[in-house]
Amino acid sequence: MKDLYDIITSRRDTRHFTTDEVPDEVLAQAIDAGHHAPSVGLTDATRYYIITAGEIKKQIKTLFLTYNEKAAEITDTEAQKEAYLNLKLEAIEEAPVGMVIAYDRSVLNTFTIGTVGSNEAIKFSAVCAAQNIWLSLTEQGYSMGWVSILNYYDFKTLLDIPEHIEPLGYFCIGKPATDYGKQPMLQQLNWKDKSGSANVTHINSSKAISKIKKEENTTLQTPNKTLKKQLQHKINQKTKPEGALGLLEKLALQVGLVFETDAPQINAPHLVVFAADHGIANHGVSAYPQEVTRQMITNFLEGGAAINVFCNQHHINLEIVDAGVNYDFPTQTQLIHKKVAKGTQSFLHTAAMSSKERDWCFQMGAEVVNQIHAKGSNCIGFGEMGIGNTSTASVLMAMLTPFSIEACVGKGTGVANEKLENKIAILSKSIQNYKGTDDLEEVITYFGGFEILQMAGGMQQAYQNKMLFLVDGFISSVAYLIAFKMNPAIKANAIFCHCSEEKAHKLLLEYLQVTPILQLKMRLGEGSGCAVAYPIIQSAVAFLNEMASFESAGVSNK
């Protein structure tokens, strides 16, 4: 056996292999080393899949090439792009053995020691196993190369890997054809130099954790009776039968009262998509894997989502907030960074968040709205993104209204049949497991989502700032439900943009005694309903300000 330090320093992420086969005993010893890696809560959640068939390798190589082209397009310069395309970043077809190292998140269906601070500990255990395998192969004269440039959803589909199994990537295994000059390949090719020593900081003092500022809610103020009478008279005197413009007349009155003028103008409209991940998604309650949250954020930032199209169409400024996505976005990404944590805990077993995290959500949501208000905006729409958040919203609705969980659960992203039954069963069990009280703050701490509570805090702040705020679909309406229960005054400033196809939304709107503008059978989220309804709100403002009165047009109103 080689000296351990020699093994560690000679380990390489290998992309060049000989044609030598990998003996079964070599692979078995390496996997045994992986099995002896640290495992959080002794869950043994790491899974291994071995691939030797050439046709399967070819299909995986195709997946790599598709994403590798995408990676090349986001390099910083043309020179860097050329250098990147010249790198050899895989040996999928050349390596004798392929291995998928993955972790089984279904272990989180039962209490697991060590996962309360971060359910990513399951993933970290699998990474430890991968490193042990790498070191074992190195000691035996073999090596491994990690391929992560893949669409993981397609990757899992291709290999028929169960939905609850999450791959770290594809690993190429064989006998190395080179030692890369005893340095990392990317360093040998002058892509980047590895630092000569580790980055170590000695902490000798601590900093006090700041207390969260909690604003007192403003009680419901009686509308300015004189202004209300003035607005209603102005609306009634337009050249039309009284009430003929229906909901538009009510919208015009509301907008005028919010802006405290009989000639209101909407300035710098914004739509904010709050995004976060949910621990409950680990239990198969969604039709899509959690990874889709991060992928959709990237889609928003690249301008490819429905909300981008609608905001561009109607000249609405779009902002994306990372309220708690289970992903580390680059620091230069054009996000509003308000990450509370990398997703909530699963409320099947424990509270989704701490009371401090709950308070952070309200504070951060208010900060986002203040930041937008400071840009001169007086109108803001609230949208969301987060795999699993319809489940969170359904439980919150069931806990905060008289409706049963069965009445509050719908298809969400598209679950049906057995998966829908499983969703109802998991959420019902979660409510049964809850031992807390009916106190609002206790309920939203236990069952809340970071993006939902940040929206609730933002809605409260929009009211304080005398802004008009637009509520999107089911999940945004649950955020409003929370904010409304904390401060009923906010209803004066809220416009409900549509009734979604999520079955509980209609019940919730009726419970709140509000009338949505549209009913288009939408269930997309993202604030899409706000953007589509916005021109109707503009029409209400336009007729109030620009339509002739009976007197100015010389038309008899008798």
CB under 8 Å to 489, separation ≥6 — which residues? 217, 218, 219, 220, 221, 463
The answer to whether the predicted template modeling score (pTM) of the entire model surpasses 0.85 is: no
Q: Is the pLDDT of residue 216 over 60?
A: no
Strands 468-471 and 379-385 turn out to be parallel
Same domain as 489, residue 358: yes
Same domain as 407, residue 279: yes
Q: Which structural domain range is residue 149 located in? A: 4-189
Annotated catalytic residue 526: yes
Q: Is the pLDDT of residue 448 over 60?
A: yes
Least confident of 85-99, 190-204, 518-532: 190-204
Q: How many CB atoms lie within 10 A of CB 453?
A: 32
Which of 301, 343, 503, 358 lies closest to 420 in space, CA to CA?
A: 503
Residue 217 lies in a domain: no
The pLDDT tens digits of the residues spanning 239-285 come to 999 999 999 999 999 999 999 999 999 999 999 999 999 999 988 88
Which of 227, 319, 314 lies closest to 273 in space, CA to CA?
A: 319
State the average pLDDT for the chain.
91
How far apart CA 505 and CA 516 sit, in angstroms, is 11
Q: Which of 94, 384, 451, 526 is catalytic?
A: 526
Q: Which two tokens stand for residue 224?
A: 């300015």
Write down which residue in 165, 189, 213 finishes a domain.
189
| CATH assignment of the domain containing 482 | 3.40.50.10210
Residue 207 lies in a domain: no
| CATH assignment of the domain containing 169 | 3.40.109.10
The pLDDT tens digits of the residues spanning 289-343 come to 888 999 999 999 999 999 999 999 999 999 999 999 988 787 778 999 999 988 9
Concatenate the DSSP letters of all residues of 280-325 into one string.
Answer: GGGGS-SSS-THHHHHHHHHHHHT-SHHHHHHHHTT-EEEEEEEE-
Which one-letter DSSP state was computed for residue 441?
H
Same domain as 363, residue 450: yes
pLDDT at residue 200 in the model: 83
Residue 221 lies in a domain: no
Same domain as 177, residue 271: no
Which of 383, 317, 313, 377 lies closest to 535 in space, CA to CA?
A: 313
Structural domain count, the chain: 2
Residue 154 lies in a domain: yes
Residue 551 lies in a domain: no
